[in-house]
Amino acid sequence: MDIANSVALVTGASRGLGRHFATQLLERGASKVYATARNPESVDLPGAEVLRLDITDPASVAAVAEAASDVTLLVNNAGIITTHGLVDGDLDQIELEMDTAYYGPLRMIRAFAPILKAGGGGAIVNVLSVASWVPSEHWGAYSAAKAAAWSLTNSVRLELSGQNTLVTGLYLGPTDTDMARGVPFEKNDPADVVKATLDGIEAEQAEVIADALSVQAKANLALDPAVIYTPAAVSA
């Protein structure tokens, strides 16, 4: 997958990782970048084609797929974090997390898979999280949604392998964006994360694991759950 001359669509492109994705795609020679957001007026990216998109709205997804029928690279970046737990959190907020992190990317993949196939296969990037592998007693809804998106990514990779579509999962810990404001940990530089991801796409990597925290979290999956899924272990 060559970034140069690709036609990319980035969800949640108004700020954070999404803005960095759109900017670097343009810098690396993408022939067109669709920068999408629920509020398109919030997107200020010279050279990008801005589209309105709400990934939780099937009609909005369908309209964008019709408008951007030349896409060869789909970046599923849009996300939220509600900081709700699963046991006593607001169920509407829990459902919103799942709709945004799981059903939203699924809608996009279902809408764009035929477009990618028609263009020779292309690529999909799903922006996931270390939370796919590390739960939180405080942000259980976010962790559960990202874990579901991890499984989605792996399943879709299998389903789309026959049409030559690369499916890459990006895993990262706290990163210096608006979403992580106030998180009391050392944070990744979002520009470095995006560069590593775009390099990974060109190298046809199935996963880009952006930091040491995420590397360790994946390795810990082989351990006894009674050891790693405790409040002390998760907060370490």
- Catalytic site residues? 142
CA 64 and chain centroid, separation: 18
CA dihedral 144, 149, 154, 158 (to 10 degrees): 130
Instruction: Show Cβ contacts of residue 6 under 8 Å, excluding neighbours closer than 6 positions.
Output: 25, 30, 31, 72, 73, 122
Q: In angstroms, what CA-CA distances link 49 with 2, 10, 148?
A: 20, 10, 31
CB atoms near residue 68 (< 10 Å)? 21
Place of tokens 């998109």: 53
The amino acid at 43: V
User: What does the block give as tokens for 120?
Assistant: 């020779």
The answer to whether 144 and 101 have CB atoms below 8 angstroms apart is no
The whole-angstrom separation of Cα 130 and Cα 174 is 8
